[in-house]
Amino acid sequence: MRPPVGIMGILLALGVVNVGSGKEKPFPAPEASQLSEAYSHVPMPPGFKVIPTELEGPVFADSRGRTLYKWPIASLRNGYAGDPKDKSVCEDKVTTKTGGYMSPYPDGLDLPDLDRRKSCVAEWAPVLVDAKAKPVGDWTIITRSDDTKQWAYDHHALYTSYLDHAPGDVMAGTATFRSGGDTPAERMPVGPPPAVPPGFLVETTVRGRMLLAEKRLSVYVSDNDARNASNCNDACALIWQPMIAPATARPQGEWTIIKRSPAVRQWAFRKKPLYTYARDEVEASLDGSEVSGWHNVYTQLAPAPPKPFSIQQTINGDVLADSRGMTVYFYTCGDDSADQLSCDTLDSPQQYRLAICGGGDPARCQRLWHYVLAAPEAKSNSRIWTVITIDPQTGRAAQPHQPGALRVWAYRDRPVYTYAGDRQPADFEGNALGEWQGRRNGFRAFWIRNELFSRG
């Protein structure tokens, strides 16, 4: 197959588009990422704590600061995987065969690299219970198949991951990047509820922890408002609808209530009155932020990508781009075993990635998918965005001083890529290449914003 001509290339050839018309955009102000999210204090057993994380907000951690994860049962195409309530199915036994969870392939195929394959427990260590411990609040104790005791929170068995190396790491699991169905049964961090009044929720996005109202309506603030005072009235209030606080509502923490009139009270967050946008048509919309002076609200921003990266405008929304404006991709993979282990880390079997990026041919893989190289002086500005050294021949971490090793940018400790099939900035021909549109084994464009077009 000849390399596909990118969408922007086609439009360019048609004379529809000028070179560079995929517009670059700036990132949100990085200093705001210093803010952290408040949370509701819940009873915890001794030895556990809540720690802030860059991406997922406050999470529970063990005494060593390791993030706690859950693995909720998920309905896959041909069965269920993950933990049922109050039970762990993550065992200390190496799984050798596929489970056939994802049609159309049968179960019983031999998993790769069996000589190195770890058990579920080796990758996801159960959070075991001290003999003297007792249940507290939503923290309960479950009995594993080997009769050991394991902590659970809200009926979900808890684990730590070998991929986390420092307090605040959330490298191991998230539901943020593989949402949309047909993903593996995901592991995700567990934390206390956010400190928001009833009717609000907070969701992790690549931009930060996004504040939403019921039914996932976006919430906005205005530059034109004063501290704890709204200047949006009359026609403004028809478009920007104040979030009314019920009579029973009380101020709490960063949340205050302002009076629009003697009988009408409005929620404010961090002293900014809150609104929804009448023209929003999709959930978790960012559309209101296109209006001058109005902004979506985040309890905390995710760390901005390092300086070489930018945001590029495409026909499908905004995508992360490299210094040339070319679309950036990440690779994601979960295997089809009963354990649903990740296969997108540097130490996991590379056969999955090589099948998609090169049809099993490592040389072709390197020709088509390019690591985003880090400049010699480049340094990490966060735990989420890091510079790693990689052996391009194997796709694994390079040994110290290894000849031919590359210093490349990584997101959540996984390298990011550009795609040779993209000819122009704003092309995204590599998006969704792989099994299940890249949700289970493949490449996904690093969308910063695509909520307008991704779903109905």
Tell me how far CA of residue 288 lies from CA of 26, 142, 292, 446, 452, in angstroms: 17, 46, 9, 22, 12
Rule CB under 8 A: say whether 431 interacts with another protein. yes
Nearer to another protein, 320 or 426 (CB): 426
Q: 3-class DSSP state for residue 309?
A: coil
**Closest to another protein by CB, 81 or 125:** 81
Return the residues of window 59-118 that contact another protein according to CB under 8 A: 77, 98, 102-106, 108-112
In 273-392, alpha helices (H): 351-358, 362-368
Strands 298-301 and 208-213, by their bridges, are: antiparallel
Write out the DSSP string of 150-217.
EEEETTEE-EEETT--STT---S--SSSS-SSSS----EE--PPBS--TTEEEEE-SSEEEEEEGGGE
Q: What are the CA-CA distances from residue 328 to residues 143, 193, 424 (Å)?
A: 44, 33, 12
Please identify, among the stretches 46-54, 123-131, 267-275, 394-402, the one whose residues bind another protein according to the rule CB under 8 A. 267-275
Site for another protein in 314-343 (CB under 8 A): 314-317, 336
Rounded to a whole number of angstroms, the minimum distance from the CB of residue 389 to another protein is 26
Distance CA 417, CA 429 (A): 13
Kindly tell me which of 65 and 362 has the beta carbon lying closer to another protein.
362
Question: Smallest gap, in angstroms, from Cβ of residue 153 to another protein?
Answer: 26
**Is 386 exposed, middle or buried (CB count within 10 Å of its CB: 0-12, 13-18, 19+)?**
buried
CB of 210 to another protein, least distance (A): 10
Which one among 217, 425, 429, 446 touches another protein, defined by CB under 8 A? Answer: 429
Query: Does residue 434 touch another protein according to CB under 8 A?
Result: yes
Residue 166 touches another protein, criterion: CB under 8 A:
no
Determine the straight-line distance between the first and last CA of the chain, rounded to whole angstroms: 32
Which residue number, 125 or 448, has a Cβ lying nearer to another protein? 448
Name which of 411 and 428 has its Cβ closer to another protein.
428
Which is closer to another protein, CB of 41 or CB of 77?
77
Q: Return the CA Rg of the chain.
A: 23
From 48-56, 65-73, 125-133, 265-273, span contacting another protein (CB under 8 A): 265-273
Question: How many residues of this chain bind another protein (CB under 8 A)?
Answer: 90
Distance of CA 370 to the CA centre of its chain: 22
**Whose Cβ is closer to another protein: residue 73's or residue 354's?**
354
Distance (Å, rounded) from C-alpha 235 to C-alpha 170?
A: 44
Applying the rule CB under 8 A, the residues between 192 and 211 that interact with another protein are 207-208
Minimum distance of another protein from residue 262's CB (angstroms): 26
Segment 224 to 243, residues that bind another protein, using CB under 8 A: none
Q: Tell me the window of 43-51, 153-161, 194-202, 424-432 that interacts with another protein (CB under 8 A).
A: 424-432
Does residue 185 touch another protein according to CB under 8 A? no
Q: Between 73 and 432, whose beta carbon lies closer to another protein? A: 432
Which residues lie across from 386 on neighbouring strands? 410
Residue by residue, DSSP assigns 363-396 as HHHHHHEEE-BPPTT---SSSSEEEEEEETTTTE
CB closer to another protein out of 106 and 400: 106
356 makes contact with another protein (CB under 8 A): yes
State which of residues 63, 248, 261, 292 lies at the interface with another protein (CB under 8 A).
292
Q: Are 257 and 229 in contact (CB under 8 A)?
A: no
* Residue 15 or 43 with smaller CB distance to another protein: 15
Q: Which residues contact 374 (CB under 8 A, 6 or more apart)?
A: 306, 308, 387, 407, 408, 409
Among positions 4-43, residues that touch another protein (CB under 8 A) are: 4-5, 7-8, 10-11, 13-14, 16-17, 21-23, 25-26, 28-29, 32-33, 35
Running DSSP on this structure, what letter comes out for residue 350? S
Cβ at position 208, least distance to another protein in Å: 7
Closest approach of another protein to the CB of residue 417, in Å = 15
Q: Would you say 51 or 291 has its CB closer to another protein? A: 291
